[in-house]
A and B are shown apart, each in its own frame.
Chain A
Amino acid sequence: MSSIEQGLILMLVGVSVVFIFLVLLVFIIKIMSFIVLRYFPEKEEPPKKPSGGAGSRDAEIAAAIAAATAYSKQ
């Protein structure tokens, strides 16, 4: 068997296995997403709390900056 024939075989096998792998992965992701979204939906609350915390700290910093600017302008 010539090396070019081997190359052609490798090409056929390679391209098909890459496709098979990713097609299977598409199905797995679809099934996984379906189950997760249906039975373990994300609660809306948790992400808001930390962002609220960060927000209030930002507000404190803003207040501190404002106070400092006002003080330096005196």
Chain B
Amino acid sequence: MNIGSAFQEFWNSTGVMNFTIGQVIMILVGLVLIYLAIAKRYEPLLLFTIGFGAILANIPIAEISGPEGFLGIFYQAGIANGLFPLLIFMGVGAMTDFGPMIANPKTMLLGAAAQVGIFFALLGALVLNMLPGMTFSLADAASIGIIGGADGPTAIYVTSQLSMRLLGPIAVAAYSYMSLVPIIQPPIIRAFTTKKERVIKMEQLRHVTKLEKMVFPIAALGLCIILLPTATPLIGSLMFGNLAKECGAVDRISDTLQHALINIVTIFLGLAVGSRMESQAFLTFETLGILALGLVAFAIGTMTGLIFAKIMNKVSKEQINPIIGAAGVSAVPMAARVASKVGQEENPQNFLLMHAMGPNVAGVLGSAVAAGILLAVVPVIM
């Protein structure tokens, strides 16, 4: 070997010689995600890590997302087996206050109504199969639908169990739409409610005792154990975190779940999801279909939540401002903040935040239940 051929070998191993067009495009997509995270603050913790993961995954030669690469190892350790989303759920549980929901339990039904979007998008995916280039199986359709649950960890969990190949686009769609809640929801809210409904004032919520907050996670988990064991990984993690927070006896655990653990897992989860954004898996027509269906799922969930809230307002004795129905699509706490903001624009004396938190946290339960149903039924009927 002479100096010339050594330089030749080196030149052949540089990025310049080995890039494919797809990889360049995906690196640009990664940069866009990072831009959105830094400049627009759209779900920065996740879009930043996913974006950077996407850049790393599309570097030629290095094979960072391959089975031996470090992102591949993250992926195998916690996404392929569904571990990371569950750890995130523990943190979410430790940060969630179910108080507003316990104070006014019937608003939980709004969290159920808003899950209709999930199943609409599922159906939509099967209908899209008629287009060329789309081949969604029932399991794929179920994973796409769950984007409408507006809950990133749930979407990743379900997809990792049912339809691994679509993980990249589904996770990106789920987190993008969650961050776009303040843009997507207000026009839908205004379109489906009247001015008179939007100014409705709601009575202040009653005080919820500490014991009620402690019994709730056990009771909810109990119901889940009896009715829907396939949802217990999600609900069980959520309630583990919640009881740790509410009981007051294990503050160190609760503190770790809320801060250190969820932050660490977010880093691993984001990078590993980014590693699934390899060009050959991501740059397909199916990705466009998934992005479109995710938006449909989200919009329909918002709509059905609003419509159900209007019906509840007509039927029940006390008045219910239909705006809070839009918060049923989980995306905690963003959707509740949006509902509260829209309410305040109509009537500055109207404070809907706490009222919207009820349906909002019920939405998390609702999408976890929907996930449990899909995990229980889809593998059987396929």
Contact = CB atoms under 8 A, between A and B. Distances in A.
Contacts, number: 118
Interface string A27-54: 0111011001100111000000000000
Interface stretch (B48-56, B77-85, B166-174, B208-216): B208-216
A28 B373 CA distance: 21
A15 interface: yes
Contacts of B102: 29, 33
A34 B100 CA distance: 16
Contact of B112 (A6, A18, A28, A37): A18
B288 interface: no
* Interface residue SS majority, chain B: helix
A68 to B, nearest CB: 32
A59 B137 CA distance: 66
Interface residues of B, number: 47
Contact of B377 (A13, A24, A30): A13
Nearest to B222: A28
Contacts of A29: 101-102, 105, 108, 216, 219
A21 B227 CA distance: 8
B241 interface: no
A22 B365 CA distance: 8
A21 B115 CA distance: 12
B323 interface: no
B123 interface: yes
B348 to A, nearest CB: 31
Given A4-B127, A10-B122, A23-B109, A18 B115 contact: yes
Contacts of B162: none
B141 interface: yes
Interface in A1-21: 3-4, 6-11, 13-15, 17-21
A26 B105 contact: yes
A3 to B, nearest CB: 5
Contacts of A7: 122-123, 125-126, 138, 141
A10 B141 CA distance: 11
A8 B369 CA distance: 18
Given A14-B370, A26-B106, A36-B209, A6 B216 contact: no
A3 B129 CA distance: 10
A25 interface: yes
Nearest to A20: B227
B223 A13 contact: no
A15 B115 contact: yes
Nearest to B120: A11
A51 to B, nearest CB: 15
Nearest to B226: A24
B119 interface: yes
B381 interface: yes
A59 B227 CA distance: 54
B153 interface: no
Contacts of B125: 7
Cβ-closest 8 pairs across A and B: A11-B119, A22-B112, A42-B209, A29-B105, A7-B126, A7-B123, A26-B105, A21-B369
25 contacts: A3-B138, A4-B126, A7-B126, A7-B141, A10-B381, A14-B118, A17-B369, A19-B113, A20-B227, A21-B366, A21-B369, A22-B362, A23-B109, A24-B223, A25-B108, A25-B219, A25-B223, A26-B106, A28-B223, A29-B101, A29-B108, A32-B212, A36-B209, A37-B212, A42-B211
